[in-house]
Amino acid sequence: MKCCDITPASLNRKITINSLVVTATATGGQSQSFVKLADVWAKIKNMTGSELMRYDQLGAVAMSKFTIRYRSDIKESMTIIYRGDEYNIKHIDNIEEADRFLTITARRGVNS
C-alpha cells in the first residue's frame, strides 16, 4: 500500500486505541489495565479468519489491518477496540516511512 493510495474519505471507521498502564499496588505488587489513548478514524481490511481448538474449546481468531493517520505514540503493547471487539496489535508499519499513515496489523479472538 502506498501513501498516495489512501484518502481521508477512506478513513471511515472510528476505532479506539487503548494503552497499557502499569501501576504499583499498596502491597508492593503491580496492577495492569488498559486506558483509552485516543479515538481515531481508520480504514479496515479483514485479512484472515480461522477456528482453533485451545484447552478443549473451539474458538475463532481473525487478523485485520487498520490504516490510520500517523501517530508516534502507537506501540505493539496496545489494543484496538472496534465495534466492541478487542484486537491485540501485532505489527505497526509506517507506510513508506513517510510519517503520514500507519498500517496496524491486529488479531482478535481466542487468547490473541
Question: What is the structure's pLDDT at 25?
Answer: 86
State the average pLDDT over residues 68-91.
96
33-79 per-position pLDDT tens digit: 899 999 999 999 999 766 555 556 556 788 999 999 999 999 999 99
- Grid coordinates given for 37: 489513548
Structural domain total, the chain: 1
Alpha-carbon radius of gyration of the chain: 16
Question: What is the structure's pLDDT at 1?
Answer: 62
5-14 per-position pLDDT tens digit: 788 899 999 9
Question: What is the structure's pLDDT at 61?
Answer: 84
Q: How far apart are the first and last CA of the chain?
A: 25
Q: The domain that contains 59 carries what CATH number? A: 2.40.10.270
- Cα 76 to chain centroid distance, Å, stands at 8
**Structural domain boundaries enclosing 63:** 3-109
State the average pLDDT over residues 12-39.
92
Residue 112 has pLDDT above 70, yes or no: no
Sign of CA dihedral 75, 16, 47, 67: negative
State the average pLDDT over residues 15-28.
91
Question: What is the structure's pLDDT at 48?
Answer: 77
DSSP 3-state of 75: coil
